Every structure is written in structure tokens, then in C-alpha cells.
């Protein structure tokens, strides 16, 4: 089994779990300094995993790895992930996420090795602003929030009946809600899905796509300013800083613990059905940023968070899912509560040797 981006936050934990399951695991990773500040293989990557320091956009390098490993399963995690960063470094995100995916496919063709199963870590970002519902009325797709609207603090979308009618977001569900990317990053993740679906269908390869909500947990990069907001909050809170909560504090997210994400990938690997899989993975519990910031501050003994009204272009207002489809199709369900996961995260950050607090990008 080959895991691209396998030295990352999810990949390191997934490789350890798969090794315990008895799989042979090789990881391919470029060890980008934004994630791996020291340029070294992470200490939490199992020594039993084969290691290949290769850029996923390097066709010759990827081909060499495939010739050596000849994996029956490829888990594709390699990606640039900064939502806001993707708006100012679009070529970088397009090169790694899109060209990196086509490079992987070309390397398979050049080696004549077609795996049995491809698994992609996609993102809830593909839904963009998603689908909303007016109070007592119809559903509608919210347009992308532009700089002018955000500057005027127009946080929630306006439904067909006008600004006086309250609106609420609907759960993001594959096959029910259309993908409408609101950032370059989101567009590249949807492109990955389309590319792999087209290639896998033509080659007779089984494809599983997991659209992940906001993943968090111990081990997330402490040096990366584009890391998950819970990890940034934890570092700031433990430094005694007041947490800055963007917009009006009511940005909605679905935080899913990394252990539950790893479990979902293991379920997808064991799935007996041969058809393609497209499913959402989250906690199923929507939480506002103010709620989670208050929780983190309380656990860390930090001051009460402050809602600043600041915003970030490319961020969507609401993102959450319903896990019933994952239960039905994978026999999977999240097990880690937000409070227990946040408590674990705080403990890990406290015990880490990080010497600085990154600024949220």
C-alpha cells in the first residue's frame, strides 16, 4: 500500500494503523517546510513504513517509487491545504493538487501498474457556501461571499425572500448538495475527484472518495499558519493570549477527530462493495467558532475569547455534515467527542516543544 503525503498529520496516523492491521505500507512525501519545519521525517511516523522523499509532481520520482513498491492500494493524501493561501498562491495549489494527481496517474500508466483501489482524501470545501434554507421556505444555494460583502459584515447569505427572512445551513451531503467551490483550494480538490473518477472508471479501478470536514487532533503541525483552527487556538490559549474569533463568532464548522478519520479510511479499505464510494466524514455536530474558542480557552485557562469582526477571504460561513450515509455505507461512526478531543489536543500542545505561536493566516 502506498500513501502519498504519508508523512503528514493524517498520513502518519493512518500508516501506523494500517501497519497494525498487517499491511505493508510505503509513504511518499516531499516533507514541505511549511508542514515539516525541520525538513525531517516526523518522529510519529512508524519506522516500519517505507519512506520515499519524492515530490508528487515529479513524474520520474513517482514512477521509480511505483516500480519499486507496486502497490495494490494507493491512498492519495498529498495536497496543499491552505484555503486563504490558495487565493494568493493559486499556481502552487494547482500544481500540487491537480498536476500532482495527474502525475500519479501518468506514473501508473508508464509503469504499467494499475492498483486495485484508489482512495482520495477530499474536502468539505468542495461544497463552497453550500445549500441553505429559508425559515418556512425553500432551499437555495448561497453565492460566494466577496470582499465587499464581508467588509460590510454581511455574514449570512440572503435568501430569495430577502434579508428579513432568517436562513439556516443544510448539512453537506454527497449526492444531495452540489459542489460549488468558493476557493482555489476547493476547486483543486473537486478537480482531484473528477480526475480520479475518470481514470479509475476507464481502468476498472475501484475508487473511494472521503470528503473530510475539519480534522483536528494531537500531531497537527504547530509551525504551519494554515493548520487547523483548533490547533492554532490551543497554542494561543496556552500562551495566555485572548483568542480572536472571526466575523460575528457564528461561523459554523464540523470538527472531526483524526482518530475517527483514520477509522473511516480503514472502513473504506475493508468495504466489500466494488462500486465507487463518495461519502462525507465528520462528527455530525455543527459547532460555532465562538463555542469552540470558549471551550479551548476554558480547558487552557486562558482569557475569554473576543469576537473581532475580522474575516478571511475564501472562508465559507457554514460547513457541517450528516454522518448517516457513512454509517450506512461504511459501518462507521465518529466516537470522539469535541470536548475529549480538545482536551487531548491541549495536553499535547502543552507538552510539545514548540517555541512559538503561529499567526492564523
State pLDDT tens for residues 289-343.
999 999 999 999 999 999 999 998 888 999 999 999 999 999 999 999 999 999 9
Report the pLDDT value the prediction gives residue 355, as an integer from 0 to 100.
39
Report the pLDDT value the prediction gives residue 81, as an integer from 0 to 100.
78
- Residue 199 pLDDT exceeds 50: yes
**Of 127, 141, 185, 216, which one is the catalytic site residue?**
185
Would you call 246 a catalytic residue per the annotation? no
Report the pLDDT value the prediction gives residue 359, as an integer from 0 to 100.
55
Report the pLDDT value the prediction gives residue 358, as an integer from 0 to 100.
53
* % of the chain with per-residue pLDDT over 70: 95
Q: Is residue 360 part of a domain?
A: no
We report the CATH number of the domain holding residue 41 as 3.40.50.720
Q: Is residue 133 part of a domain?
A: yes
Q: Is residue 356 part of a domain?
A: no
- Residue 354 pLDDT exceeds 80: no
- Reported as a pLDDT band with limits 50, 70 and 90, residue 161 is very high
- Residue 57 pLDDT exceeds 50: yes
Q: Is residue 296 part of a domain?
A: yes
Q: At what angle do helices 229-238 and 338-351 cross, to 10 degrees?
A: 50
Report the pLDDT value the prediction gives residue 84, as an integer from 0 to 100.
66
**Strands 117-123 and 131-134, how do they pair?**
unpaired
**216 is written with which cell numbers?**
483536528
Question: What total number of domains does the chain contain?
Answer: 1
Domain interval for residue 327? 2-351
CA 1 to chain centre: 21
Q: Is residue 268 part of a domain?
A: yes
Q: Is residue 357 part of a domain?
A: no
| Section 117-124 average pLDDT | 97
| Section 216-235 average pLDDT | 87
Q: Is residue 100 part of a domain?
A: yes
Q: Is residue 358 part of a domain?
A: no
Which residue has better confidence, 309 or 357?
309
Report the pLDDT value the prediction gives residue 43, as an integer from 0 to 100.
87
Q: Which residues pair with 50 in a beta bridge?
A: 26
Amino acid at each position: 500500500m502506498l500513501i502519498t503525503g504519508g508523512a503528514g498529520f493524517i498520513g502518519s496516523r493512518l500508516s501506523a494503523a494500517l501497519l497494525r492491521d498487517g499491511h505493508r505500507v510505503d509513504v511518499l512525501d516531499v516533507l514541505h517546510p511549511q508542514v515539516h519545519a525541520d525538513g525531517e521525517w516526523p518522529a510519529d511516523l512508524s519506522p516500519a513504513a517505507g519512506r520515499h522523499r519524492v515530490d508528487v509532481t515529479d513524474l520520474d520520482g513517482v514512477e521509480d517509487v511505483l516500480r519499486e513498491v507496486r502497490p495494490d492500494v494507493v491512498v492519495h493524501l498529498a495536497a496543499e491545504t491552505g484555503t486563504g493561501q490558495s487565493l494568493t498562491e493559486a499556481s502552487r495549489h494547482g500544481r500540487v493538487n491537480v498536476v500532482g494527481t495527474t502525475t500519479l496517474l501518468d506514473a501508473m500508466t508508464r509503469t504499467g501498474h494499475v492498483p486495485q483501489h484508489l482512495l482520495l482524501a477530499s474536502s468539505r470545501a468542495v461544497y463552497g457556501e453550500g445549500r441553505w434554507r429559508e425559515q418556512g421556505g425553500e432551499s437555495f444555494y448561497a453565492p460566494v461571499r466577496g470582499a465587499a460583502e464581508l467588509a460590510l459584515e454581511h455574514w449570512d447569505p440572503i435568501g430569495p425572500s430577502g434579508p428579513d427572512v432568517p436562513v439556516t445551513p443544510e448539512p453537506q451531503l454527497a449526492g444531495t448538495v452540489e459542489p460549488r467551490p468558493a476557493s482555489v483550494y476547493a476547486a483543486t480538490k473537486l478537480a482531484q475527484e473528477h480526475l480520479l473518477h475518470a481514470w479509475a472508471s476507464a481502468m476498472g479501478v475501484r475508487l473511494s472518495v472521503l470528503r473530510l470536514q475539519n480534522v483536528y487532533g494531537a500531531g497537527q503541525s504547530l509551525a504551519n499558519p494554515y493548520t487547523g483552527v483548533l490547533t492554532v487556538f490551543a497554542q494561543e490559549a496556552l500562551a495566555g493570549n485572548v483568542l480572536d474569533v472571526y466575523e460575528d463568532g457564528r461561523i459554523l464548522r464540523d470538527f472531526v477527530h483524526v482518530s475517527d478519520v483514520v477509522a473511516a479510511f480503514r472502513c473504506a479499505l475493508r468495504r466489500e462493495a466494488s462500486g465507487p464510494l463518495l461519502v462525507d466524514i465528520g462528527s455530525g455536530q455543527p459547532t460555532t467558532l465562538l463555542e469552540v474558542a470558549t471551550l479551548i480557552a476554558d480547558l487552557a485557562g486562558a482569557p475569554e475569547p473576543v469576537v473581532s469582526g475580522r474575516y478571511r477571504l475564501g472562508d465559507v460561513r457554514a460547513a457541517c455534515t450528516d454522518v448517516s450515509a457513512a454509517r450506512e455505507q461504511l459501518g462507521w461512526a465518529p466516537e470522539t467527542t469535541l470536548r475529549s478531543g480538545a482536551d487531548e489536543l491541549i495536553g499535547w500542545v502543552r507538552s510539545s516543544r514548540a517555541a512559538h505561536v503561529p499567526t492564523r493566516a
